[in-house]
Amino acid sequence: MQSLIVGDLKIEALENGVPPAVQLLWKGKSNERHPNEALAPYFREVLATAGTRKLPIELHFEKLEHFNSSTITSIIQLIQDSRARSIKLVLVYDQALKWQKLSFDALRVFAKDDMLELRAA
């Protein structure tokens, strides 16, 4: 998996977790006007890789400084797409950061089965 750099955002891709997973480490700030133009094709590639290798996807936001609401929309689309392909998605956030706790606690509205896990680090 390639990493993604778009504006102030870097998403570093790793494939060596325990248990194995496609890990995406978000760093910096996601503040583009149309973040989905870069994120949607990248997420398609991630879903294809995870699907082929039968791995879950872990998104790590602990090092992320900020994301705008357009980025949240892109993440919601990834939640929908991963569920449609029966690929488990894990969102890991830093609960000590109030903004992350608020943002990701609200996304629990989508955690209606074990295909989506929100994990406080």
Partner 1 sequence: MGNFNFSIDLPVRSEWANVDLLRTSVQNCFTAIFSDIEGCHSLAMVTGELIENAIKYGDWSGTDEQRFRLRVWGEGRSAHISVENPVHSNDTNADQVMQTIGWMRAFPSSIEAYRAKLLEVASAERDPGDSKLGLVRIAYEGNCMLSAELTRGVLRVQAELTV
Binding mask 11-50 toward partner 1 (x if CB under 8 A, else -) reads: ------------------x-x-x--x--------------
Locus of tokens 């194995």: 20
On the CB side of 30, CA atoms within 13 Å amount to 24
| Part of the chain binding partner 1 (CB under 8 A), chosen from 12-20, 49-57, 61-69, 86-94 | 61-69
Residue 109 Cα distances to 17, 62, 100, angstroms: 27, 20, 15
| Part of the chain binding partner 1 (CB under 8 A), chosen from 10-18, 47-55, 56-64, 65-73 | 65-73
3 lies in the binding site for partner 1 (CB under 8 A): no
Q: Which of 19, 69, 113, 114 binds partner 1 (CB under 8 A)?
A: 69
Contact 67, 105 (CB under 8 A): no
Sign of torsion, CA 71 56 95 61? negative
CB of 45 to partner 1, least distance (A): 17
Beta strands in the chain (DSSP E): 4-6, 9-14, 22-30, 57-60, 64-67, 89-93, 116-120
Using the minimum distance from each CB to partner 1, give the nearer residue, 23 or 71. 71
User: Interface with partner 1 by CB under 8 A: which residues?
Assistant: 8, 29, 31, 33, 36, 66, 68-70, 72-73, 76-77, 79-80, 97-99, 102-103, 106-107, 109-110
